[in-house]
Amino acid sequence: MTDHIALNAGHGGETHQVTDADHPVLTTNHGMPVSDNQNQLKAGQRGPVLLEDEVYREKINHFDHERIPERIVHARGTGAHGYFECTESLADITRADLFQKKGQRTDVFVRFSTVAGGAGSIDTPRDVRGFAVKFYTREGNWDLVGNNIPIFFIQDAIKFPDLVHSVKMEADRGYPQAATAHDTFWDFISLMPEATHMAMWIMSDRTLPKSFATMEGFGIHTFRFVNKEGRSTFVKFHWKPKAGLASALWDETVKTAGADPDYQRRNLFERIGRGDYPEWELGVQLFDEAFADSQPYDVLDATKIIPEEVLPVRIVGKLVLDRYPDNFFAETEQVAFCPSHLVPGIDHTNDPLLQGRLFSYQDTQIKRLGSTNWHQIPINQAKGRDGGCPFLNMQRDGHMQMQVPKGRANYEPNSLHLAGEIGGPREDLENGFKSYPAEEEGQKLRIRAESFADHYSQARLFWRSMDPAEQAHIASAFVFELSKVSIEHVRVAMMANLRNVDEELARRVADGLAMELPEASPTKAPVIDMEPSPALRIIRGPREMHTLEGRTVGIFFADGTDAADLKKVKDAVKAAGGHPLTIAPKVGAVPLSDGSTVKADAQLFGQPSVTVDACAVILSDEACAKLVKEGAAVQWVMDAFGHLKAIGHNASAKPLLDKAGVEPDDGVTDLGGFVEAAKQRYWDREAKVRTLA
């Protein structure tokens, strides 16, 4: 077995490296030996990244151009138009136009995505979801390019190509697609202790969102707000879903992928189509240098959060998505986001992951969209809500130039306007963007700040903040993922890391794999116990809402179903803000008890219960007697029970529930109590239906 030991890497960075074999020297494409493949070149320990870093630039440049024309990551996605409305003025904190006046609206385009899979993969894998927002402000486009998780795997962008190479399909065999359960991913994670916190999040229910409308979004990095007087305030961005947080179960997502690979894309399209517009509140965590210095972690470390109990999230706006693209390719596929796209009043910090992204995204868009003029594609054009933000500069020509500039002045400064000709735009010293004049000093070094050395305390915080049901899901996810790892020493190394997170977690994973627990991995910094953060929970957490608003209720009926019962349930679901979806063995004219006929919205075999949020079963005695012999009907009810959903039923449907193994609990009701029961899942049922680690 290969030994894994802790070594210093890059003047303070930490990694686990294989040491029992000689390796060739790592070089650039031009043959220069590389001394540090862990850190970008910075000005001082916590200073900005330097553009002269040829090792990083060559590495990220090659990586950005590896796939054409599909996005290398976030290829599988969907988007929608909408607006952002400022609900609290931040004029004293930032001069950014969109935050000046309460009630002011700014057009937006939002793209949701999975990270690992290709454009043709499924919507519901265990994966991080991208949450990218393009604000068309009156002073230019601002791109807040985030995820549905507030942290990231790595601390320095020079490791991004390695991360993505490890999680993508294995190079020699071209699989698995859109999955982390394989050797190369976990080999990388086990050797990068800084990724342990993120590993906890990706094994949690956060990577199995029920829909885009029921997941949070985060800007991940620490940014700056800058006001008109030039004063800086640090800020972290949060998107809070109005519909509440809701995730699916692993078994549910697997079956959803088979039933409807486009489930989340379809859900967004249909919500907007029926007027159930997805909505989020924009929250900010605002703090100064003194607060940052007082925390037991570095706020510039992208693998760390600031717990909401330590620094509450202040709600300052709302995001509403109310229009689906007219053409998927022209808008959703061609939209391009860049973290470097700022507006006056918002600025970057020296987060080394963010600093690397500032170069990478711009470079990627040039390659992917085939032209330096990708900003002229309509979805990417600066326009502002009223069209009052044209883009004007001296950049000319290039592939796919679509503008026709007038005049001969393509340089600045010029004096042609004095001769009556077109002189062109000029800089605006008063209102133009100004970078915050932070003082920086230090030697040019490839270095990881010592304040970035604690890789386990926040992973422990996350675990101890979870509801017991979520802890069981996390432990079971680790068991499943590591059971797919064929290289034993990788499993051992990962369990050694988990011992630094929590002994109970590590033991549960080891028991699930029938393996002995190894010694804990060595650490570079003490692991501390932080106060749990209940705000991190989904199950029984502050944003688990008991509601039917925007959610779909499947109503299973058949020949002879009582017409009054069917109507009553449909009306009650609508009154509660839900969307009733009628499902029958056949979709044509289904005869009801009163002699009338009704068309079903969907067919039983094509609309399994995994695609809805709650289930009602309304049958006649005769129909039920037939359906207890129909495997699809039995499975429909069995899955609803197994996925902890509410099941409402009439007396005639009871034999079908019995055949499906449904046991009485608070979520199994008659039709009268169904709608109220349908507003939640029944987590206490889980121990009856599956074994978890």
Catalytic residues: 74, 147
The 3 state secondary structure assigned to 401-448 is CCCCCCCCCCCCCCCHHHHCCCCCCCCCCCCCCCCCCCCCCCCEEECC
CB atoms near residue 571 (< 10 Å): 12
Residue with tokens 């939002």: 110
The dihedrals phi and psi of 395, each to the nearest 5 degrees, come to -75, 130
Q: Are strands 647-649 and 444-446 parallel, antiparallel or unpaired?
A: unpaired
Query: Residue 367 — φ and ψ, nearest 5°?
Result: -75, -45
For residue 229, the one-letter residue type is E
In this structure, what DSSP letter does residue 132 have?
Answer: E
Q: What is the identity of the amino acid at 244? A: G
Quick one: CA dihedral 595, 597, 602, 606, positive or negative? positive
Q: Which amino acid type is present at position 212? A: F
Q: What is the CA radius of gyration of the chain?
A: 27
C-alpha separations of 272 from 275, 325, 378, 574, 654 in Å: 5, 11, 22, 16, 36
> How many C-alpha atoms does 583 have within 13 Å on its Cβ side?
26
Smallest Cα–Cα separation from 648: which of 559, 578, 544, 591? 578
User: How many Å apart are CA 693 and CA 689, to the nearest integer?
Assistant: 13
Q: Which residues contact 211 (CB under 8 A, 6 or more apart)?
A: 246, 264, 267, 268, 271
> Which residues have a Cβ under 8 Å from the Cβ of 435 and sit 6 or more positions away?
347
Residue with the two structure tokens 């059971």: 483
| Token pair of 4 as six digits | 């894994």
Q: Are 507 and 693 in contact (CB under 8 A)?
A: no
Residues in Cβ contact with 160 at an 8 Å cutoff, skipping those fewer than 6 apart = 60, 63, 154, 353, 356, 360
